[in-house]
Every structure is written in C-alpha cells, then in structure tokens.
A and B are shown apart, each in its own frame.
Chain A
Amino acid sequence: MSRYRLRILDKLCWGCKTCEVACKQENRAPTGVKLIEVSEDGPYWRDDELRFVFRVERCRHCGTAPCADACPTGAISQRQDGIVVLDRDECTGCRDCLAACSFDAIAFDDARGVATKCNLCYHRIDRGLLPACADNVCLAHCIHLHGADIID
C-alpha cells in the first residue's frame, strides 16, 4: 500500500502562512498551538550572498515513528497507510513524545494538558479529501500530498 506524506518544497514557499490558517480552520488547534508552522531560515551569508528561505515545519509521519515508540499509553499509532495519528483522548500529557521527535513537530496544548500534532487530516483523507493545507490553498503550490493519487 502506498504511503501518504506531505511533500513541501520549501524553496518555493513565500512565507504567506496561508497553510497555517487553513490548518486552524480545519483542526481548530488552540491559540499558541500550531500543527504546521512556517519559520524563517536566514537571512545568513553564504558565498558572499545573503540567503533567506522559509521552512515549513510539521510532522513528517516518519516510517519508524519514534514518537509512537516513546508513547507509554499507545496514544500514538501508525496506520497502514503511513499516517502517524496522535489520539488526544488517549494522551496523558507525559511529553515523552515531544522529547522523542527530532523534528520538534509535536506541540503541547497547555489548556487541555495533552500533546498534539498534525494527523495529516486523516479524517479528510478517509473521505476522499486532501489535507486542508494541501488542498490548493498555497499560492506557491508548494504543498502536495504524496500518494494523493489514491484519493482519485
């Protein structure tokens, strides 16, 4: 079975942050919690030239999913299609997954006392819809769902 993941071409990103708000509209993450975040890399000098790009940070849905291994309650699991799902209702707020993630892609929802992250809008994918951030909102067309051909 094909594996879903987000393919984001950082070098095309303009930093407009539309993906952040598209995610908010869909997933209603509380203020202060971002499941996708556009960050600045630079400006810095290299080869006598100033470099400056945006980096779009989000869960990579790793093949090995160290966050799932770290979770003591089984609140994080990987689906057959590769999507790593964090079930907030099962989370006890121990933060072990935050420490295990090398992409710093898991946030902590202080209000609810639980970890939270991008679940790749699996609730949309399962209904034949693209994740909110990848559904043609991006003016640079830099966010794509790899494996979207499965959807049709």
Chain B
Amino acid sequence: MTEFRYANAPREMEAYGYDRVVKSHCRMCHGGCGMLVYLKDGRVEKVGGDPDCPISHGTVCSKGLASVQLAYHPDRLTHPLRRLGPKASGRWERISWDEALDTIAERMLAYREEHGAESVVLGYGTGRENEAVIYRFANYFGSPNVLTAGHFCYGPRIATTVITCGSNVIVDYDNNPRCIMVWGNNVTISNPDCYKGEPFSQALNAGAKLIVVDPRLTRVAARADIWLQLRPGTDTALALGMANVIIEEELYDHDFVANQVHGWEEFKARAAEYPLEKTTEITWVPQEKIRAAARLFATTKPAAVQWGVAIEQQVTCADNNRALLALMGITGNIDVPGGQMLFKQPPIRNVSQFGAHKALPPEQAAKRLGGDVFRLAGNFGIINPKFVWDAVLTEQPYPVKMLFFISSNPLMTRANAREVYSALEKVDFMAVADFFVTPTAELADIVLPAATWLEMDYIGDFWKRHGWLLPRRKVIQVGECRSDHEMLNDLAHRVGMGEHFWDDFEQGLDWILEPSGITFQEFLQMDHFRRAVTYQKYLVKGFSTPTRKFELYSTKLEEWGYDPLPQYREPPESPVSRPELARDYPYVLITGARQPGFFHSENRQLPWARELHPDPIVEIHPATAEKEGIRDGDWVVIESPRGRIRQKAKLTEGILPQVIAAQHAWWFPEKRDPGHGWDESNVNILIDNGYDHCDPAMGATSIRTLLCKVSPEDLRDRSAAGDWTAAGWDRPVTSSDLGRGDASARAGAPPAGVHSDSKEGE
C-alpha cells in the first residue's frame, strides 16, 4: 500500500499556515479511520486521512470529511436545554449543566424509589463507542433495560458467533482472501462494524473472486463473478442450499468437519432439506447460479464471507448468521490467514468488563424487558424496542417512566414510528443527548449537547473485534458540549454511584488500559497497537463454546428452547405467507440501503453530505413504474397496511420488478417547525413491529421485508423536502455565533466559545 501513502502533513502545514496537526480517530460512523486534523488558531480548518492508519490506510469517506461542517454547524446544540412549552412545542430555555444533570439525577432516583430501577431505560442508537459506558451506568444503577439497535444490528453477530465459535469472526483482508462472498452488504458505501471498504477493495484488486448476494444491483454486485439476486428474506434457504451442494459434492473441509465441529450429521440432514430445486423455488435464484457460487466458495482458499446488517433485520436473523457461519466453518476458513479470524484484543479491560454486566443484581437482570421471550438477545443484555414502548404505553409488565437516549433518534430509526411517537409523547420524563435538536429531542424534557469525535479523548475501536486500538484525541471544545462518557461520569456521581466511576473520565480510560501497563497519556504517544496475530488457535484450545467445538448444532440455542440448527422461515409478510394481503399490496418492500454522506438519521443538515442526496429515494423497476404510471423523478406514495409516506422515484433495472427499495431515517432539519417533517418520508411508519414480526431468538424486527403498494402523487413535483439550500448551513460560522440559532435560547448568555486544547497529538 506504500504507493498510496500521500497526505504530506508538514507541507500542508506550511502551504496553508496551519499551526498544528493532530492524529486522531474518526467517529462519523462507528469509528475506525485514522485522521489528520489540521488546526489554525485553535480551530479545525481541515481533516484528512492518516496514511499510517492500519485500518483505512489514509483513505476516508464523505462523512468523515464533512466532520468540520458538523462540529461548527450553525444549528449545533452547544448548551443544555430545558423544555418550556408542551412536548413538540419547540419552546426551550438555556440551562446550565448542573441544572440539567441535577434534574435528571433527581428524576432517576425518584423513579427508582417508586417504581424500581427497571422503570428507567437508557438507550443508544447504533454503536458510537459509548455502548460500554451506558451499560456500566445502567448496570450499577440497577436497570436491566438498555435500549439499543443490538437486537438487529451487530448484536446478533456477537451473539451468534459467541454461541457458535466463541467470538466474532473477522475477514482477514491483510492476507488477501482469494474468494470473497459479500452477503447483504454494500461494504464500500456502508460502514459495516469492524470493516472498512479499502482493504476489501484492495483484496479484489489483488485478484480475489467475488460472489455477491443482494436483491439490489450495487456496484459491488455489478463487479461480481457471480451475483445472486435473491428474493428478499430468503437468505437462510439460500445458504443452506449452498451448504447442501458443498456437502453432496464432497467439497467441504473433511479434516475440520471430522475434528472441530459439533453436530455434523444433524447439520447434514438439515442442509439436505434444501435441494437445489426447492432452494430455487424459495429464493428465485437459478439453480445453476447457486451451484456455481457454492463450488467457487468451497474450492477457493482462503475464502471469506463479508456480511452486514441486512441479514439481521429479518425474522431469520440469528439463523441467517448461523447458516453463514456454517458455510465459513465447513469450508475450513475459520481462524486461517485470509479467512475469518478470531482476533484477540490487547490485554485491556474489554467492553464486557467496562460495561460492568456482573454488577447488575440477578433479580434485576431477571426483570429485563422481553428477556424471557427473546432469550438469545436476553442473554446478551439486549432488548427489543417494542417492549419499551409497550411498557410506557400500557405499564405492562411494569411501568417505564423515564427514557434517556444518547446519540439515538428512535422516532426516525425504530419500526412503527407512530407507536414510537406515542410512547415518547406519553413517557413521564425523557432526556436526550445529541448534536442537534432532532425530532426525537423535540419530545424531550432536557436536551444535552453532545461532543463530536473532534471534542473527545477515547480509546478508539476498543469495542471491535479486529484487535486494533487507536487513540482519539480531543482537539477542540465547542460551546459547552461534553462527550457521552463525561456526562455519564458526572451524572453517576449525582446519583450516588461515584465509587464506580471516576473524578475525571480520563481515569476511566486509564482503568481500561491498566492491564496493558500503560496510561491513557502514554497511549496518546502511540499511533495504534494490536497483539501479535496467531492462527488456528482452536487446534490447541478448541473453541470457546460449551462443547469446545465449532457448534453447527448449538447447545446454547437448544438449552434456551430453540431449534439448534439454522432453519428457513418465510417472512411474516410476503407474497407467499400473505397472498390475500399481497393482492392489495403487491410489492416486496426492502428498506435501508446505505447512502454516502449519511449515517442513519444523521447529516441531513451538512451541506456537503446533503448535496450528495437531497431527497429520499425509492427505487422501482421501469416495468413496475410503467404499470403504476410513475415516471423517473416523480414523488410517489408508498403505502403499507400501517401507513403511507412519500419518496422520490428512481427507476432502475437493478432491482426485480416485484421489489421496491425505500431509504430510511429521512427527516428534514431545514423545516423549522418542531416536527421537522419526521412523518413525511419516514419508512419506519410503514413497518410492523409486532412480536410475530421478530426473530424468535434475537427479537430482530423484520424491517427489510414487507408488502407495499406504490402510486404516483397527484402533484408529482411536490417535494417532501424543504429548501435546505436556503437554510444558511453553508455560511462560514464564527465562534461567536455558534449556538442553536435560537435568539430566545441565547439571550443574555455569554457567547459560546471555540477553544483550542493544549493536548499535542504527536
């Protein structure tokens, strides 16, 4: 990769007159990419990639480069707020951190006293490197309820890999897999946990064969040697069909199967339920393509599966993951160079220890919402969101009185958005920490200003399974913003849990690193570190599972009352399972394809990101569009039995005529009313979050496969978006006008400052 190592920092400094450059670690998604932050007079002027970063090798993405627009955004929340009027009235007053945290602490203690600690629910969205501290806080407080995306994002990868082979298996791109099977993942556009697009891209350039399983023709799919365009929601059937070809043709790794797996005969019998003819009937993928893909994957060594979140947001969530794990295992690609690695972290206190899961009393753990329903999830501290909404709305099985969301916008990102709205509207007390006053925050009682990655110190990527640790260095202070860690550390003292936290959060970072024998200050002197990589550790120690084997047949799932083998189940709302409903709603709706520039509901107010995608887009096949009277660029109505939304049609042959693909998490911050257009284009309005629409083990909500109809709008050019170009977001922001853009909130307040921090990066 040396030929690409550009980014000449000293020359950049000289050319532009920057006075400082700091190495840090981006977190515009889940984290991962090493960054160079250029400063002048204490202000970030520019960010770029760090060529020495072992993960991204100096490359970046559109989100990362837009970091400066986020940090200094004119709408950025820079001080705590208290709501004055009714919920969603948009009337706020500025308050101090002391007032904000004391109010939150007082409420938390009162609810615990009256209704039990379980009545207080903390939540985050997708992983933002704050998960462990939020769990730590909840566990010591005594609440078993942390509401995350873990039921259908990454949590299933952790849960299914732990019960199958002890830990998450990570593709070893450093050693160039010769065959990569990308399954439900757009790795070069999205941000799949533990991965970056660059090493994948390099492995392809080095000649790796490529198989892609995706209902949409992504560019990755277009570049594939074999593209399997499956019917949405049929992944487990396809994977078992491929396993059956591999078994029938004796293409599996006989040695690994004979010595390392548990349940081979049972798995063989299960795979045999998926002969090619049946698999094709279920998945719509031609038999010869399934056979060719199975042969290519099984006979090319090393081979790896690049998976992502799409397969987890289905009713077969856990079984999709488990069926793919079976393919990795029986082909002998586990823990080998260029295969799927079980990397070991450096000796630190890991997320589980830092998260203090053992501090939660067993009688409180037993009260975890839905823990006895979704038992795989429950055993990993994960809950399904509907249990929380139900507990707020019906007070069953017990009342939830308080919600505290940190970097989460559930009104935009959780299934059945209207139910979410009802719950947030009803809940007794809600606090939100975020960068902006989002549609969710508009329903809060207290809103706290959160720090971006440029404003925090942290041990980057310490929750991931690729084994690298990278320092994130605080370079600026914006207004009164605080990192999620700092605010929870402070709050912990106010609710009487100071002994489990620290005077200053840097001591918490010292505590995480302590087993490695270094302090955080010493860590800051390093670029990154990882433990020496070793392969095929199972030959010595077996796998970290109850049988010490790679469990094709899961003894844990059996113990918890589930089918121990992966099994295909028809999606609860499909043309096959609901033919009568499909007469009115004839199309399969898939949701959530990732877009450059956005991270779920974030970044619509960053001009550089929004310019890439001004409008929510729904993809429709030209034949379907013609039948429905829709032209390219029309605003159309997408309707499910739950409701209707509007998005802008894009006609493409890259999707089957029976399938429609809508984008997720769209709101319109340019609309200044407190709703910000949350219900105009929000795909989660269309989605059923009923428990029968969830994976029985993991509680994953089926958000990727449902039925819909689509029709042209009467006014085809009536946009759901506002005029964001006139919002003033791209005017240069000076330190003196950083604030909420809300005169009443700022009146009488000292100007929010942007201060340089004296920490040196190098």
What is A's interface to B at a CB cutoff of 8 Å?
Answer: 12-18, 20-22, 24-26, 30-32, 34, 42-45, 50-54, 124, 127-130, 134-141
Contact = CB atoms under 8 A, between A and B. Distances in A.
Given A15-B189, A130-B6, A30 B730 contact: yes
Contacts of A18: 59-62, 65, 596
Given A127-B11, A136-B7, A20 B62 contact: yes
Q: Which of A13, A16, A22, A134 has the most CB of B within 10 A?
A: A16
Contacts of B4: 136, 141
B583 interface: no
Contacts of A22: 60, 65
Nearest to A140: B201
B675 interface: no
Interface string B2-35: 0011111001101100000000000000000000
Interface stretch (B43-51, B92-100, B502-510, B567-575): B43-51
B752 interface: no
Interface stretch (B77-85, B215-223, B330-338): B215-223
Given A135-B48, A139-B196, A16 B65 contact: no
Among B8, B57, B202, the one with the most A-chain Cβ atoms within 10 Å of its Cβ is B8
A16 B62 contact: yes
Interface stretch (B160-168, B264-272, B429-437, B607-615): B607-615
B608 A24 contact: yes
B653 interface: yes
B735 interface: no
9 smallest CB-CB distances across A and B, nearest first, come from A14-B188, A52-B222, A127-B15, A136-B6, A139-B198, A21-B62, A43-B654, A139-B59, A21-B65
26 contacts: A13-B219, A14-B188, A15-B188, A18-B60, A18-B61, A18-B62, A20-B62, A24-B65, A25-B68, A26-B46, A31-B611, A42-B653, A42-B654, A43-B217, A50-B653, A53-B222, A54-B219, A134-B6, A135-B48, A136-B49, A136-B57, A136-B59, A137-B49, A139-B198, A139-B201, A140-B188
B11 A128 contact: yes
A17 B62 contact: yes
Contacts of A54: 219
Given A128-B8, A135-B6, A43 B222 contact: yes
Interface string B48-74: 110100001111111001101000000
Given A21-B62, A21-B609, A127-B11, 7 more contacts: A20-B608, A21-B597, A24-B611, A43-B217, A135-B48, A137-B48, A141-B4
B394 to A, nearest CB: 45
B758 interface: no
B7 A25 contact: no
B197 interface: yes
B30 to A, nearest CB: 16
B7 A135 contact: yes
A141 B11 CA distance: 22
Contacts of A21: 62, 65-66, 597, 608-609, 612
B648 to A, nearest CB: 15
Contact of A20 (B8, B14, B68, B612): B612
Contacts of B596: 15-18
A16 B217 contact: no
Contact of A25 (B5, B51, B205, B608): B608
Nearest to A34: B611
B311 to A, nearest CB: 21
B390 to A, nearest CB: 40
A83 B596 CA distance: 30
B300 interface: no
A8 to B, nearest CB: 15
Nearest to A127: B15
Interface string B572-612: 00000000000000000000000011000000000111011
A20 B610 CA distance: 12
Nearest to B220: A14
Contacts of B653: 42-45, 50
Nearest to B199: A139
B175 interface: no
A141 B49 contact: no
Nearest to A17: B596
A151 B322 CA distance: 51
Interface core residue of A16, A26, A52, A139 (most chain B CB under 10 Å): A139
A138 B198 CA distance: 8
A139 B6 contact: no
A14 B725 CA distance: 27
Contact of B61 (A12, A30, A42, A139): A139
A134 B608 CA distance: 18
A100 B46 CA distance: 35
A53 B217 CA distance: 11
Interface in B684-710: none
B544 interface: no
Contacts of B202: 141
A83 to B, nearest CB: 17
B544 to A, nearest CB: 33
A50 B217 contact: yes
B652 interface: yes
B430 to A, nearest CB: 34
A12 B205 contact: yes
A26 B16 CA distance: 11
Interface string B191-222: 00000111001100100000000000101101
Contacts of B68: 25
A22 B60 CA distance: 9
B669 to A, nearest CB: 15
A47 to B, nearest CB: 14
Contacts of B61: 16, 18, 139
